[in-house]
Structure 1
Amino acid sequence: MPSRTEALSIDTASWTLRLKTTAAPDEQLSKLARLLGRPVDDPSLQAAVEARVPGAVEISFPNRPRIFENTVYTLSVKPKSGFDVVRVGHPTLRDIEDSIDDEDGVWRGTLRTGNDIGWFPLEIVVRPNTGGPARTDRIAWQVWPLKLDFASDLKLIATDIEAVYPLWLFKFGVATEHDLGVGRGRSDRFLLMWFAQFRSRWDELERGLKVILQNPHVSLQSRSARLRAERLRGRINRKLEERIAVGGERPEIRYEATVWSSSLDTPENRFVLYVLDKCLSSLDRFRDAVDRPGLSPTFRALLDGWIRSVSAFRSDPMFHGVGTYFGLSKESLVLHNRAGYATTYRAWLELRRDLEFFASASAARLGMRSVNELYEIWCFLAIRRMLSDLGFRESERKEARWRKVGLEREMENGAGASFRFEGNDGLRLELSHEPVFGRFRSGPFHSATIPQRPDIVLEARWPASDEMPERRLLWIFDAKYRLMEDAAAGSADRDDEPMRDCDYLVPPDAIDQMHRYRDSILMRTEGSESRPVVSAFALYPGIFDQTRSPAGNPYAQGIQAVGIGAFPLLPSMNGDLWLRAYMDDALRSTSHAKTVRKRSVRIPVSGLEYPEDDVLIVYLTADRRPEYLERFREGRSELYHTYLQGGPSSARLGKVKFLVAIDVPHTDGPLRMIRGAYAIDGWNVVARSELDTAAAGSPQPRDAGAKCRILRLGRYLQLASPIPVPREPGNWFRYASLQRLFEARTFADLWSIKGE
């Protein structure tokens, strides 16, 4: 049995806590210090333990990081003489509490930190064994990352995320208990908590309350009073007139009268006061429940702002004379229809259940997301910032779509957030988080096998030009908060290159996943399919001196050879230079034509050929003008047009470099002839009506308003011997390769593929 090392010990007057592990905390700290390039005793490597316990507290290793991510610890809590430990549990995670058992008064259990870094809180309920009330001692220690700088990297990640999606940092416990029954509260990645919905309802409530304070509802109320004659107002009945006439000489006499006055003490105003009291008490209880080390300042400020707002409304003079709310005896038209009251009433109907959840926060509290989720979100935002820095203008921001599950909101698959950018040359970019490429998607991108869901996808769309059709390319990024522990972890048969001998590599399965994305995602355009993924990269927290050449990236060779690899990406200074340089070269520093004409990374399978069908073969009909046909027979043509509708697709035509026209001989017999090939210098789109007879070969177009592509023909390559082609009716086109065109003796030798 491996020996266990004590990682942490907390000694109080009531109990003693110990954490032990089979891992070596000192070695973990030394490795982290080596990765960060700092000595072990560097001031930035200072941990903290907080204990809210009465009396003296003694903590072993109080300032040294001893608890790390992805490590298993055994926990023991032993009471001191005169005390009993009633319960030991985590304030958020019920499964941790279930894993801790009481054995002869000593509580023991197993803690697995996983990827959850930051403050780890624990509650210990202790009671004197002589009797008396129990108290809850609260302690918290820091769980440190093994791959990031806790002092700077994590803070920068949280700051960047909070600037765009403040509440996405938080989530409730793994298992929560509320009025809908016990359900899984674990959120999907990149999740906006239900606080966003709560805040929108809260804003609606505040708007209604402001209207009420400006124009409150009042009612006329009567009361009996004894007044002197000069203070009587309104209509006076006859009997009272007679009594006043009799006592007219005695002004001190008071008379019984009914007095009417306006009052704010109405059932509707009592209801509003009740709403304010419930909101204030629930929010106060919730703040007390979640106020522990590690709570985000952003969330604390938001909660404090709500409480201050309620207190300000509650202290308004309008409510000074309003009584206690005991319910409504009948439906109130004021609450349903009057401005301010109707808004407040509707908002309260939706808020009250959420406030009940606030009040019972001990069963489900707010926590921070695991670091792998934070790293993924940060990588997405880092690429967004990188595109802006490269000069692309953000033109549109698409929020994720959500569905409500209990008290949480989960992101719908394939409906994640995205940002759109525009460049000066017409280039449009769309950066998407977790799009789904399924088999039956209506868009152009799909998977031919099983659905694929990469973390981050960057789509680039170049507009059509005279020399190139519109192009759409994809870059895939997958955030991997993992490092291969050592060279042996990858095994010699998977990672034995000398250049990979370093501490900062992603696990081999992460690279395998990039190959899967690149090979499985296809693009469907006008009946043809192509592979739109230029490259796929894993992003990982590797620490390198990126001020050096990008050739220092251990995956540079694979990126150059097959477009697959990984980039280290960190928020610290110069932690993104290699990826930034790659993006600059791929998107900004090169033209459209240079980008799409890069050498293909497709390497042929041994024994197979992949011919390039770079020749478009078209069939000329005998109804064209003789001089038009003569120019094609002699190799003197300069233009050829084909209709956009029914002609070659833009994607397919972009691969074509030569045009072959099957011309009509002088004697219109059973055969046609291929005499040579024209180089295509470019093409553009015009209306058919803009073409004259010389360019089109026909004075009467079949559709003058239809769009046509005009191919500009250049150098003519003549065949040594013409290739006869059987006569076929109609207009048609096919594709072939230039090499086979010059090797073929018959039309069948071209191995052509009929165009669709």
Structure 2
Amino acid sequence: MKEWLSLDCDDFTFTVWSNGVDKRKSVFEKRDKTASQYVIHFSENMGKVKIHCPFLDAPLLLESSQLELPSPLFFENLQYQFEWAFKFDVEQAEVIHYHSAVNEAFRFKHRSLIGNINTGNDIGWFTLPIRYSVGNKQKEFHIKFEILPTKIDLHRDIPIIYQNIDTEFPLLRFNFLGKTEQQSSESHKRGNFSLFWLAHFKQLREKLVHNIKIITLAPHQRLQQKNAFLKADRLVGKASHRQLEKIRHDIKNGQMDKRYQVNPKFLSANTPENRFIKWISGQIQRQINKIIYQLQTQQNEFSETLTTNLKTWIAPLMKLEKQSFLKDISPEYLEKSTLVLQQKTGYNQVYYIWQELKLYLDFFEQSKTISMKSVSELYEIWCFITLKNILLELGFQATQKQKNRLCQNKFSEYQLRDGLLGAFHFEKGNIKVRLAHEPIFRQEGKEIRTFWVSQKPDILLEVVLPNKQKYIWLFDAKYRIASGKDLNLEDQDKTEKENEAIANRKDLVPEDSLNQMHRYRDALIHISHHSLIERSRPVFGAFALYPGYFQQDQVSNPYQSVIDAIGIGAFALLPSQDKLGQTWLMNFLTEKLSFNIEKQQEKTDELYIENPARIPTLGMKQAYYRNLVMTIRIGDEREEGYIQKFREGTANYYHTKTDIFDEEFNHKIVSELSFLAIAYPSLEEEWVIDKIYPILNVEMKQRKALSIEQTGNHKGQFSEEWYYCFELSQPIMLKNQIEGIPVERFRESIKLPTLKMIQGVKRFDKLRSVYENVLVQALK
């Protein structure tokens, strides 16, 4: 390992080693051009501190508690070794980070405390504190530095990701005990610690307000007494014998104005339990108002919606205080537990909720930091939100009311509710779209299932057309990049030519990510009950999303040819103000989803004729229409005997050039054909179609390999042009012959109806066709 930083002070020498910093630094500088200085903080009062670093021209004597470097040193997903070499005997030394995994990575032996740390995808400020004992005296030291990302721009991309997530899912990006943290005191673009307390309060607030309402309907009351002095004529009720004797004595002596002490009893709600309810209501209001003030006074990336929600959360508590018995309760409160608080309905729930909230308050009153989820988690959530926003830009409207799409894990951290329960639903006309985060497909699935291992793709995009056709595309966010020779690590058997081609590429997705896309597509099976075809593959494409850096408006996606060929590939996706980092994905979804209701059948045909949907099992064929017919006329200058066979229905062969359709579609269409409806000239010289021929076999042959029986003329018998040669079976007679066949241009006689479409049609111009876009291309 190479030494990158050495800090020499009175008590110890602190050293940092690592491999790979140069490479990460090179990648970082290509992407991040905005920041110029990188600061490292450490404990004050460490005596004379001498710094050694390759980025400094000479050793530096530091007088302050921070070091400014001209170049970054600490990066994500990189292993660093830290060592404190003490200059005298110490009894004990340990790391006292709040994350146990960090503490367990270090060991103390003799005079050295040493350990390795890799923060993974956690970015932000990393604090490494230690405590060591010298005699009976304990000392502490900490060093704090910022972990920088290399795949995305810290100063441009991260704020956009934060802003998008906060707008859609406030509080989602905060973590409980991450290795790194964000400090509001260090940057205005960091999270506020109080928000994490708020995340815990959010799940309990409705239950808290509900129980306070129960209390206001039937508040606990106690008999209380007060001292009063009344004249004898004002006394009511039964008096004691002693008091009556005294009154008689005073009246006898003429003391008519004398007053006597009484202690009347009455029911009062001003009890310790009710004062407790009013006190915690005030405490909660003050805490949330403090958070609102911090959000309004600090420059941060939180949405205004969050502040509005906070105000609405305390509104019920304020209303209850003003409109209930609580407004007459005295504010003094001595905190102590009673049987009423522990057992009575309403009071007991409020009491237990407060005990939990109090722990969070006490914890965060002592801390001013909060951790963020790892950047890989944030990138995945941002990709999901980006797909949602693209659907909105394409004109789709959200159809279901906003559900609670957030839930909490065992650490009380907020996360997206996984699966189809938290999915977004959209409509455009009669087209329905469902966008789901991390749906889980298991062996027990009723509609889509696996047959062994459960699968959990990051994002599912499902489109359902009015004709009930359903398409599914899967996306998986991968916060990983492989560049140049790194790609070869997945396969050591690449040829030199492959190695050379890969080495010149930049920012590609790792190969195991593409392998995972194949797994998703092949593992998911659609089950059709009560159908002849019980099992089918529902996934039309699976794509990785990764933070590759490209000028997407100027270059093409390196995976586009693979996407077109097999429906597997990747899209580089990066946040940017002008959204240029989303161009490739936006173009893909626009092509697949931008169509109106009148064009739905054409769009269906296009999707089913694309290469990814046309890959059959070896030895079988793949077809969308099982009874597809092609209308086509006999070529010009054919022998009379050849034509007569079509009049009589005894023709065995038909041939046509392989270029009747565009190269992209020709073989796919021809391989799907089940029948030929061949137009021929009748004896009256009228071109008609009165029969359809089942196709026994189709072969591709050069013209010179075709016989006169198959072609009907001698022309081109030495040509090497390629033709389709159809072998025909006994024809099926149509009830009505079709007339009006266009013959001036050969390709105008080509249509692609189904067997059902052709029945009962009498005029060629009334005959409908499938694969309309393919025909338009063929007739150009």
TM range (shorter): 0.5 to 0.7
1:394 partnered with 2:450: no
| C-alpha contact (below 8 Å) 1:399/1:418 kept by paired residues | no
Q: Is the 8 A contact 2:543 2:569 kept in 1?
A: yes
> Do the aligned partners of 1:279 and 1:310 also contact (CA within 8 Å) in 2?
no
Seen in structure 2, the aligned counterparts of structure 1 residues 169 and 52 have a Cα distance that, compared at 3 Å, is farther
Q: 1:73 corresponds to which residue?
A: 80
In structure 1, stretches of 5+ residues that fail to align are 176-191, 287-292, 337-341, 465-469, 618-633, 636-654, 664-672, 681-708, 718-756
**Corresponding residue for residue 592 of structure 1:** 600
- Give yes or no for the alignment of 1:489 onto 2:476: no
CA distance, structure 2, for counterparts of residue 296 and residue 141 of structure 1: 22
C-alpha spacing 1:10/1:415, structure 2 compared with 1 (3 Å)? farther
* Structure 2 equivalent of residue 220 of structure 1: 223
State how far apart, in whole Å, the 1-side matches of 2:624 and 2:93 are. 78
User: For 1:274 and 1:14, how far apart are their aligned partners in 2?
Assistant: 50
Please say if residues 463 and 470 of structure 2, whose CA atoms lie closer than 8 Å, have aligned partners that are also in contact: yes
* Cα deviation, residue 170, structure 1: 2.5
CA distance in 1, matches of 2:145, 2:314: 31
Give the percent of matched residue pairs that are identical in Structure 1 and Structure 2: 24
Aligned partner of 2:4 in structure 1 is 5
Q: What is the rounded CA distance, in whole Å, between the counterparts of 1:712 and 1:277 in structure 2?
A: 75
Indicate conservation of the 8 Å contact 1:678/1:716, yes or no. no
Match of residue 107, structure 1, among 113, 118, 121: 113
1:89 and 2:96 are equivalent in the alignment? yes
Q: Per-residue deviation at 1:448?
A: 4.6
Residues 418 and 430, structure 1, Cα contact 8 Å, conserved in 2 = yes
Alignment length (residue pairs): 595
Contact 2:174 2:371 in 1 (8 A): yes
Alignment of 1:108-123 (within 5 A): 108-123=114-129
Does the Cα contact within 8 Å between 1:228 and 1:255 map onto a contact in 2?
Answer: yes
DSSP-derived class of the 2:569 partner: strand
Q: Counterpart of 1:348 in structure 2: which amino acid? A: Y
* CA-CA distance at 1:99 after TM superposition: 1.5
- How far 1:368 moved relative to its partner? 1.6
Compared with structure 1, are the counterparts of its residues 392 and 282 closer, same or farther at alpha carbon in structure 2 (3 Å cutoff)?
closer
Kept after mapping to 1: 8 A contact 2:484/2:503: no
Structure 1 match to 2:130: 124
How far, CA to CA, are the matches of 1:139 and 1:283 in structure 2?
33
Deviation at 1:538, TM superposition (A): 0.8
Cα–Cα, structure 1 residues 486 and 124, in superposed 2: closer, same or farther, change >3 Å? Answer: same
Q: CA deviation at 1:674?
A: 6.8
2:540 to 534, 549, 556: 534
Q: Is the CA contact (8 Å cut-off) linking 1:269 and 1:322 kept in structure 2? A: no
Structure 1 window deviating more from structure 2 (71-80 vs 427-436): it is: 71-80
Structure 1 residue aligned with 2:35, among 44, 62, 65? Answer: 44
CA distance in 1, matches of 2:342, 2:158: 53
For the residue of structure 2 that corresponds to 1:422, the secondary structure is: strand
Instruction: Give the residue type in structure 1 aligned to 2:75.
Output: F
Matches within 5 A, 1:509-548: 509-525=512-528, 526-528=531-533, 529-548=535-554
In the TM superposition, what are the counterparts of 1:548-559 in structure 2 within 5 Å? 548=554, 552-559=556-563
Matches for 1:228-247 after TM superposition, within 5 Å: 229=231, 233-235=235-237, 237=239, 239=241, 240=243, 243-244=246-247, 246-247=249-250
Per the TM alignment, residue 50 of structure 1 is displaced from its structure 2 partner at its CA by 4.5
Q: Find the partner of 2:104 among 98, 102, 124.
A: 98
CA change 1:546–1:46 in 2 (3 A) is: farther
Preserved CA contact (<8 Å) 1:12 1:57: no
Which of the numbers 202, 216, 223 marks the counterpart of 2:205?
A: 202
* Structure 2 contact 41–144 (Cα < 8 Å) conserved: yes
Partner of residue 382 from structure 1, selected from 382, 386, 409: 386
- Name the Cα RMSD after superposition: 5.2
Asked if residue 610 in structure 1 is aligned to residue 606 in structure 2, the reply is no
CA contact (8 A) 2:166 2:302 kept: no
> Could you tell me which of 143, 151, 175 is aligned with 2:155?
151
Look up the equivalent residue of 1:601 and give its one-letter code: N
> Gaps (5+ residues) in structure 2?
47-62, 180-194, 292-297, 629-647, 650-671, 678-689, 693-728, 737-753, 763-780
What does the per-residue CA deviation read over 1:673-705, in whole Å, with 9 as the maximum and x for residues that have no partner? 97417699xxxxxxxxxxxxxxxxxxxxxxxxx
Q: Distance in 2 between matches of 1:231 and 1:154?
A: 82
1:488-528 Cα distance to aligned partner (Å, 9 max, x none): 53257285484873221011111112122223323233341
TM-superposition CA deviations, 1:174-206 (whole Å, max 9, x none) = 79xxxxxxxxxxxxxxxx999756423124324
Question: Aligned partners of 1:442 and 1:607: how far apart in 2?
Answer: 29
Checking the alignment, whether the CA contact within 8 Å between 1:475 and 1:535 is kept in structure 2 is yes
- Aligned match of 1:506: 509
What is the letter of the counterpart of residue 83 of structure 2? S
1:125-147 CA deviation, whole Å, 9 max, x = no partner?
A: 4667564xx57665532111110
Q: 1:410 to 1:300 in 2, by over 3 A?
A: closer
- In the alignment, the residues of structure 1 paired with residue 104 and residue 69 of structure 2 have an alpha-carbon distance, to the nearest angstrom, of 28
Alignment of 1:676-695 (within 5 A): 676=732
Q: Which moved more, 1:556-565 or 1:577-586?
A: 556-565
Partner Cα distance (2:275, 2:519) in 1: 64
Which letter maps to 2:250?
G
Residue matched to 2:568: 564
Offset of residue 21 of structure 1:
1.2
1:447 is matched with which residue: 450, 461, 479?
A: 450
Equivalent-residue separation in structure 1 for 2:553 and 2:333 (angstroms):
71
What are the Cα deviations for residues 655-689 of structure 1, in whole angstroms up to 9, with x where unaligned? 997699999xxxxxxxxx97417699xxxxxxxxx
In the superposition, the TM-score normalised over structure 1's length comes to: 0.65
- Cα displacement string for residues 703-741 of structure 1 (whole angstroms, at most 9, x for unaligned residues): xxxxxx994434899xxxxxxxxxxxxxxxxxxxxxxxx
1:272 maps to what in 2? 277
C-alpha deviation, 1:438, in angstroms: 2.8
Q: CA deviation at 1:568?
A: 0.6
